[in-house]
Structure 1
Amino acid sequence: MSNTDNKKTILVLGATGKQGGQVISELLAEDSNFSIRALSRNPESASAKSLTARGVQVFKGDLDVADGLQQALTGVDSAFLVTLPDLKDHQKEATRGIRFVDEAKKANISHLIFTSVEDADKNTGVPHFETKWAIEKHIREVGIPWTILRPVAFMDNFTPNPSTANFVGFGVFSTLLGDHSLHWVHTRDIGRAAVRAIKNPTEYRGKIVPLAGDVQTFDGVLDAYEKVHGYRPWKAYVPNWAAKWLPQEFTKMFQFFREKGYSTDVAACRKADPHMYTVEKWLAENKK
């Protein structure tokens, strides 16, 4: 399906978050061949109004209610779906994602891009990996044309410059990850991959796209901060016993990181996209 002005209509979920926000930015940077929609619980919020000011059409709705999804999906060519974990009820993430897939199927969209997580299909024991795998399976079952993006840990869950959040987060990662390596990706690379899939549907339909631009121990991450900023950042002291106070979701995830780790072939990812970010490149680009 297409619009009379030959623009492709793209619906982006999570448009004010890290991943959806990057998809919006990359689409807007491309050209005028896209009509971009976003979904918001509150279209009058400051974040929603900022999207409107950038030329994005904001629809009222969320993944808990089918009615708003139907309106937002009417006339859509491609959709970008991202789901967030619910730490109180893991099943909610799967329910919400499946609801969107069903509504997208009813709307007869020609391409669904779902951002999952690497190794979602490997019985990791991590609840929010398993809920994303449930959504992936449902996408295949309903027969909607799809592309699955499978990113790893987000480097930009930290701030690129010194912050209190980093001080605490560095301590948690350092203690729970130990000296194990971890695969990292910048969410901009997720946005860029999504836009490549949107622009080249024939090439990307039915394709799983792993996304990892770097592999580093946490000491290696701190080395990159030191190289870019000229000093090694401080980190909070987090004893091992303190891990029991963290949500079980996180302790299971770090257990997976330590015992198995992501299986992504970083060299292959960088060959497919030579512009992918390393931790150092991300820091240098955002240094203040």
Structure 2
Amino acid sequence: MVTTKKILVLGATGKQGAAVVDALLDLPSSSPTLEILALTRSPESAKIKSLIETAKAKGVTVTPVKGDLKDSPAPVFEAHPRVDTVFIVTTIGNEDAIGKAWVDAAIDKGEASQIVLTSVDRGGEDKSWVNPTDVPHFLQKHAIEVYLRDRADELEKNGRKLRWTILRPTAFLDNTNPGMFGKVFAAMWSTLPADRSLQLVSVRDIGLFAAKAVGNPEQWDRRAVSLAGDSITYAQARETFKRVVGSDMPQTYTIFGQSMLWAIADVGKMFEFFRTEGYGADIQVLRKEEPRLQTFEAWLKESSGWKNEMSGL
């Protein structure tokens, strides 16, 4: 009798991985109980130790697993040979090879029965399957999606069931957090046409949807879901920020943003995609499925790094 469900979370202390862990800890108590295998480069870090204690208070075991997304996954599964669910996130740089390696290892060495993959939206749930785009990291994420789907189909023909869910986030609301990156992102966003809306989602909400898939694997099997909580122009974002935070939305020089789009080909192509095609998540449908889905305003108030700035408002 299975008493524990093991979930391997890649990048467990990164943005998306940490959001997934947080959301898993908030799932209703269930049988079997959860054990979260948290892949991290620093298993002795204060962040991991705090996470272990928080999880323990909620009846969940968090086991740190030393490793890096870009390392060979084999040692991870040699140390933990039976894993029920694997959450896969990839970062820019040889993503397709790395993502496919984790898919293969999860299936062949980890004997996983479920994979939850976070990817990127490319124009809506149907269009994304046939639209890899010319944005390098979009294209590579598309290749991982297709590989996962095809491997699951192959396994099913041979009598093995692999459930999969693909989450396709749009731009991250978290890109506008305090710091230099937020200023640069704002400068790049300002280069879009004034009437061009950009769909955005909070990292927290990516975690919520990943936890839904883990908690209800049958319901979420073979679903590829585009995620967004808001669709706004840059001017609307600035107005909302001013009203909620009480100060102007930080932005470096527009010319610097333009220079970044020119200097970094991947980013330049991504903003060209924003300009000419755009994301295609169905926010109304998503909100029916998850009422907590954050708008830009809700994110500023509930999850952002700007919350302390609002204390005097």
Q: Please name the residue that 1:59 is paired with.
A: 65
Q: Deviations over 1:196-245 (max 9, x none)?
A: 11111111111112211110011111111111022332422222752455
Tell me: CA distance 1:177–1:153, structure 2 relative to 1, closer, same or farther (3 Å). farther
Once the two structures are TM-superposed, the CA of residue 71 in structure 1 deviates from its matched residue by 2.9
Tell me: CA distance 1:285–1:51, structure 2 relative to 1, closer, same or farther (3 Å). closer
Aligned positions of 1:93-132 closer than 5 A: 93-106=95-108, 107-119=110-122, 120-121=128-129, 122-132=131-141
Tell me: CA distance 1:124–1:177, structure 2 relative to 1, closer, same or farther (3 Å). farther
1:38–1:58 Cα contact (<8 Å) kept: yes
Aligned residue among 10, 13, 19 for 1:22:
19
Once the two structures are TM-superposed, the CA of residue 69 in structure 1 deviates from its matched residue by 2.8
Q: Deviations over 1:140-184 (max 9, x none)?
A: 12113211111111101221xx54443333222212565411101
Alpha-carbon distance between aligned partners in 1 of 2:299 and 2:258, rounded to the nearest angstrom: 32
1:77 aligned to 2:77?
no
1:81–1:113 Cα contact (<8 Å) kept: yes
1:209 aligned to 2:215?
no
Once the two structures are TM-superposed, the CA of residue 258 in structure 1 deviates from its matched residue by 0.2
Q: Give the structure-1-normalised TM-score.
A: 0.89
Runs (4+) off by over 6 Å: none
Tell me: CA distance 1:25–1:178, structure 2 relative to 1, closer, same or farther (3 Å). same
Tell me: CA distance 1:131–1:72, structure 2 relative to 1, closer, same or farther (3 Å). farther
Q: Deviations over 1:114-164 (max 9, x none)?
A: 0111124313211111111111111112113211111111101221xx544
Cα RMSD for the two superposed structures: 2.1
Secondary structure at 1:201's aligned position in 2? coil
Q: Please name the residue that 2:59 is paired with.
A: none
- Alignment length (residue pairs): 278
Alpha-carbon distance between aligned partners in 2 of 1:212 and 1:103, rounded to the nearest angstrom: 30
State the one-letter code of the partner of 1:228. Answer: V
Secondary structure at 1:202's aligned position in 2? coil
Alpha-carbon distance between aligned partners in 2 of 1:97 and 1:230, rounded to the nearest angstrom: 42
Aligned residue among 265, 269, 276 for 2:282:
265
Aligned positions of 1:136-155 closer than 5 A: 136-143=145-152, 144-155=162-173
1:176–1:243 Cα contact (<8 Å) kept: no
Tell me: CA distance 1:24–1:270, structure 2 relative to 1, closer, same or farther (3 Å). same
Once the two structures are TM-superposed, the CA of residue 195 in structure 1 deviates from its matched residue by 0.7
State the one-letter code of the partner of 1:11. Answer: L
Secondary structure at 2:241's aligned position in 1? helix
Q: Please name the residue that 1:282 is paired with.
A: 299
Alpha-carbon distance between aligned partners in 1 of 2:44 and 2:73, rounded to the nearest angstrom: 20
Alpha-carbon distance between aligned partners in 2 of 1:165 and 1:83, rounded to the nearest angstrom: 20
Aligned residue among 205, 208, 229 for 1:189:
205
Q: Please name the residue that 1:40 is paired with.
A: 40
2:37–2:65 Cα contact (<8 Å) kept: yes
Structure 1's unaligned 5+ residue stretches are 87-91
Q: Which deviates the most, 274-283 or 140-149?
A: 140-149
Once the two structures are TM-superposed, the CA of residue 75 in structure 1 deviates from its matched residue by 2.1
Tell me: CA distance 1:258–1:244, structure 2 relative to 1, closer, same or farther (3 Å). closer
2:87–2:115 Cα contact (<8 Å) kept: yes
Structure 2's unaligned 5+ residue stretches are 56-61, 123-127, 153-161, 309-313
Alpha-carbon distance between aligned partners in 1 of 2:292 and 2:50, rounded to the nearest angstrom: 28
Q: Deviations over 1:25-73 (max 9, x none)?
A: 1112225531111112332344444444444201122342132232355
1:11–1:72 Cα contact (<8 Å) kept: no
Secondary structure at 1:59's aligned position in 2? strand
1:15–1:38 Cα contact (<8 Å) kept: yes
State the one-letter code of the partner of 2:294. Answer: Y
